[in-house]
Amino acid sequence: MKQLHRNIKRIALCLCALFLLLAGYGAYNIIVNGNRWFSSSSNTFARTQKKNVIAGDILDRGGVLLATTVEGKREYAADAAVRRAVVHVVGDSQSNVNNGVEAFMAAHLYGFNMGFGERLSYALSGETRKGDTLHLTIDSQLAAYIAGIFPAGRAGAVAVMNYRTGEVLSSQSFPNFDPMRVTAAVKSDPQKPFFNRSVQGLYTPGSTFKIVTAVSALQNMPDVQSRAFQCTGLREIGSRVITDAGTDLEAGKITRHGQLTLLRAFQVSCNNTFAGLALEIGDAALRKTAEGFGFNDNFLFRDLVVENSSYPTENRNEGEIAWTGAGQSALTASPLHMCMIAASVANDGVMMEPQILLSAVSARGETRTEFAPRAYRTVMTEAQAAVLQEYMRAVVTGGTGTAAGISGVRVCGKTGSAEVDTQENTNAWFLGYLDEEDAPYALAIVVEEGGGGGSVAAPMAKKIFQWLLEKE
Amino acid sequence: MSKEKKSRRRKNPALALLGPVMLFYFLAFFLLGLKDANWESFLLSLAVPVMILIGTAGISRLFPADQLLLSLTNFLCALGVLILYRFSPQRGLAQAVNYGVGVGGMILCAYVVRYMPGWKWSTVLMMGGSLLLLLLPLVIGTEKNGAKSWISVGSVSVQPSEIVKLALMLCLAYLLSQRRVLLSIIFAGACLMILMLQKDLGTALLYYGVTMVLLYAAIGSLPLIGVGLAGGCGAAIVGYQMFAHVKRRVAIWLNPWADVRDAGYQIVQGLIAMVNGGVWGVGLGLGNASVIPEYYNDFVFMTILNEFGLIFGLIVLLMFLFIILRGIMIANRSRTVFHALLATACSTLLALQTFVIIGGNIKLIPLTGVTLPFISYGGTSLVSSLCIIGFLQGVASRNEAGVHADRALAERGGEGL
């Protein structure tokens, strides 16, 4: 009987644990996924409720009105250039853009986060409920400026963030559109203006991925900085041939870098060296580093939705592994994620979580939500970050990215010219940052079929950096 | 004497709970009446509190009932009636009738446990009857949601496994109290096999869980439990390989968002209803949880979360936990192994059933179609849940009788000195 009682007590403990599990998992889900589920397009309830609430305003970091409700109708920024430049971040009332602030923060905008007392007072006073005002981290003037310098008619994306805090200053996709004039031509445009390339576009990162390969080399090959590498211009690995930019086999032109150090290889973006590094590091170790940087992770950021980046796990033969080291193969990443990678180098190895909401303020002036900066991960040691900072500086002072250089300012960066099988021309990439204490900004630029990163994207980066420095 | 007073005072908290509970249901039905301008709701706003009063304070006059247990179950049953009535008055009233029948069943079960002189022959009878009853749906049954576990008698459809559940607990408790381990395993195994044939996997999971827990309680042999767990895992793997609908369920569980319009629709809408409710709920009568298929049955907890919110949902969960822990207390106070095992079985079954369905709702485990005790719509389920409470009441009253007998003996002993 005594043993029976003891056993029954143990059973009771297990049953209690089951209930704790239910409550715990439920709470976890609501905290992590609550807003994603709420703003899902399957939520018919939220849609019907919108009729009973006046949606809140959306402001940029300088207080510029980006969206407001006038007599029950949603209106966007007064300046058409600003309106177009921020449309992918803000979203639109027809939900043409996926996961814009209008959709993803519907809970705030439509007052679903109200407390019990607030609801009651609205109900008693008979006033129509008013949603929260959202202050975003976006700088709408910067956005308009970037839209002005982005090559006309091209598709692509630009992301700018503060690498110390993770605040996103701009996240833009091209072509954009005017949310107040959505014409049939916009809807049928083959370049898909509604598509938010900055966070949804999964691009081959090309040579910009060499930042990750270099970090992996530092992690896995202790002597790599003192080694000498040999670039012969052509290297056959399995069924694939590794070539460098400028090589044209039909014309008999082959780019050769000869003997070089890791620094020099990074500076001139030598595919051969980085392919060799990938083989030497090995697929598993390189993948581990890439996953440390957020590849293959399920991004669950607090206030914005970023498509997951992927490091390939299938069809891994030697040729594919080698090309992965140079950022090709089946690697994909969004421009905002690549911006975070540049930012992590600048921020001494700590990758900050991107943030788009400064604060949400209720119609009665109370701050409902305010986010403090949050680190996503520490992706490398400070010492490794220092090496990469030196390398990225060298790219701008005497490598492929000289076009981004500004005299008297420490601009750092990495170019990329990513090959895509279905395209004639390469995608032009530039990742970079300002190594300046009072202008801690990182950016990522991609111009689809733009050509060389150094010649197309780097000059744009220079202009954006100059704009940011003037503003400070 | 003073002891008796004390014990009566100790029971009072359960009665003190009655006031707020009655007020809650008065207001709830009153508000529903105001909203829909419906005289029936106003009537119910008086009738339901009175029913709760009778159900809690009245029944305890019939035998020394455990009032805490009574008031908690009454609250949950009334919550079921309320939430069902709010969407469909017809269903709500039907559930109220079910509840009345269930209370009858509860009293009957309490009396049976209290006064049954011996269990030997009735156990033999129940074992045979159980197997026959379980086999019945396979012969004349109708299929619902992929499981062939229902039989129709006239216009009423009954799920035999809900009735056999009660017999299983009695039989296992008796057999194990007599140390007839092998026979109990064979009997439970046979029931499980038939349930697998019916493809009623949720119920099979409950039977299996209760059997394992009782084996552990009675024997405490970890190797035996290990073998049982291994067997359960093996059966799960075989089930996964054999049944297409099990594979489908697991796939939906892993990612219901892959197909939000069809396969994952139910779970996704349930989750959305939960987050729509938020902390305070959207308010009684204001939600749209009826978009969830089976919102009144398997997904009734999500409906409650939608309208009443998270805090209320946690309170409901706590009430279930209190019922279960009360059952465990009753088990540990009982004087015979049979009664201890029976009360343990009751608590375990209620706990597992609550866990399996709510866990399925919130995507913690794959969804299997079992009902939420006391709240889900359905006569058989509600009656059998109340019968389980009846068993607990019966054991509790035996404990109480034992305490009285001891005291009488002690007093007589005192006189003798």
Model confidence over B165-209: pLDDT tens digits?
999 999 999 999 998 989 999 999 999 999 888 888 889 999 999
Q: Is A29 exposed, middle or buried (0-12, 13-18, 19+ CB in 10 A)?
A: middle
Q: Report pLDDT for B118.
A: 82
Q: What is the pLDDT of residue B13?
A: 67
Confidence class of residue B416 from pLDDT cuts 50, 70 and 90? very low
A4: nearest CB among B272, B320, B340: B340
To the nearest whole Å, the CA of A109 is away from the closest chain B CA by 14
Alpha-carbon B378 to chain mean position: 12
Instruction: Tell me: pLDDT of B414 over 60.
Output: no
Does the distance separating the beta carbons of A22 and B364 come in below 8 Å? yes
CA of residue A13 relative to chain centroid, distance: 46
Residues of chain A positioned with their CB less than 8 A from the CB of B276: 38, 43, 45-46, 112
Per-residue pLDDT tens digits for A194-245 = 999 999 999 999 999 999 999 999 999 999 999 999 888 888 887 788 888 8
C-beta atoms of B217 and A8 within 8 A: yes
Reported as half-sphere exposure (CB side, CA atoms, 13 A), residue B373 has a value of: 30
pLDDT in tens, chain A (472 residues): 788 999 999 999 999 999 999 999 998 888 888 888 888 888 888 777 777 889 999 999 999 999 999 888 889 999 999 999 999 999 988 888 988 999 889 888 988 877 778 878 888 888 888 899 999 999 999 999 999 999 999 999 999 999 999 999 999 999 999 999 888 989 999 999 999 999 999 999 999 999 999 999 999 999 999 999 988 888 888 778 888 887 877 777 888 888 899 999 999 999 999 999 999 999 999 999 999 999 999 998 988 999 999 999 988 898 899 999 999 988 999 999 999 999 999 999 999 999 999 999 998 888 988 889 999 999 999 999 999 999 999 999 999 999 999 999 999 999 999 988 888 899 999 999 999 999 999 999 999 999 889 999 999 999 999 999 998 6
Q: Which residue of B has its CA nearest to A6?
A: B217
Chosen for mutation from B276, B334, B356 (greatest number of chain A CBs closer than 10 Å) is: B276
Predicted pLDDT at B146? 65
The pLDDT of B100-110, averaged and rounded, is 92
User: Which structure tokens are listed for B382?
Assistant: 């509600």
B265: left (phi over 0), alpha (psi -120 to 50) or beta: alpha
Q: Which residues of B touch A11 (CB under 8 A)?
A: 213, 216-217, 328, 344, 348
Residue of A111, A130, A171 whose CA lies nearest to A305 = A171
Asked if the Cβ–Cβ distance from B355 to A29 is below 8 Å, we say no
- % helix / strand / coil in chain B, to the nearest 5? 80, 5, 20
Residue B10 has pLDDT above 80, yes or no: no
| 3-state percent helix, strand, coil for chain A, nearest multiple of 5 | 40, 20, 40
**Tell me, what DSSP letter sits at residue B63?**
S
User: For residues B332 and A5, is the Cβ–Cβ distance under 8 A?
Assistant: yes
Q: Chains A and B: how many Cβ contacts under 8 Å?
A: 113
Percent of chain A whose pLDDT exceeds 70: 100
Give B-chain residues touching A123 at CB under 8 angstroms.
none
HSE-up of B355 (CA within 13 Å, CB side)? Answer: 23
Quick: pLDDT tens for B130-148: 999 888 888 877 776 666 7
Residues of A in contact with B353 (CB under 8 A): none
Handedness of CA A288, A294, A298, A301 (dihedral sign): positive
> Among A6, A11, A20, A50, which would you mutate to test the B interface (most chain B Cβ atoms within 10 Å of its Cβ)?
A11
Q: Is the pLDDT of residue B8 over 70?
A: no
Q: Which amino acid is at B284?
A: L
Closest CA to B186 of B200, B166, B165, B171: B171
Query: In this complex, which of B216, B261, B310 lies closest to A7 when CB atoms are compared?
Result: B216
d(CA B126, nearest CA chain A) in Å: 25
pLDDT at B141: 72
Tell me the per-residue pLDDT of A52-70, one tens digit each, with 9 for 90 and over.
Answer: 889 999 999 999 999 999 8
Pairing assessment for the beta strands A58-59 and A65-70 based on DSSP bridges: antiparallel
CA distance B213 to chain A (A): 7
Residue in chain B nearest A23 by alpha carbon = B314
| pLDDT value for A50 | 77
**What is the value of pTM for the model shown?**
0.79
Residues B343-402 pLDDT 10s: 999 999 999 999 999 999 999 999 988 899 999 998 899 999 999 999 999 999 888 888
Percentage of chain B surpassing pLDDT 90?
47
Q: For residue A121, which residues of chain B lie inside 8 Å, CB to CB?
A: none
- A304: distance to nearest CA of chain B, Å? 18
Q: Is A381 exposed, middle or buried (0-12, 13-18, 19+ CB in 10 A)?
A: middle
Q: List residues in chain A touching B: CB distance below 8 A.
A: 1, 3-9, 11-12, 15-16, 18-19, 21-23, 25-26, 29-30, 33-35, 37-38, 40, 42-46, 48, 112-113, 115-116, 119
Quick count: other Cβ atoms within 10 Å of Cβ B266?
Answer: 21
**Dihedral, CA of residue B193, residue B196, residue B200 and residue B205, to nearest 10:** 70
Are A163 and A137 in contact, with CB atoms under 8 Å apart? no
Which residue, among A2, A6, A13, A22, would best test binding to B if mutated, counting the most B CBs under 10 Å from its CB?
A: A22
Neighbouring CB atoms inside 10 A of A359's CB total 15
* Mean pLDDT, all residues of chain B: 87
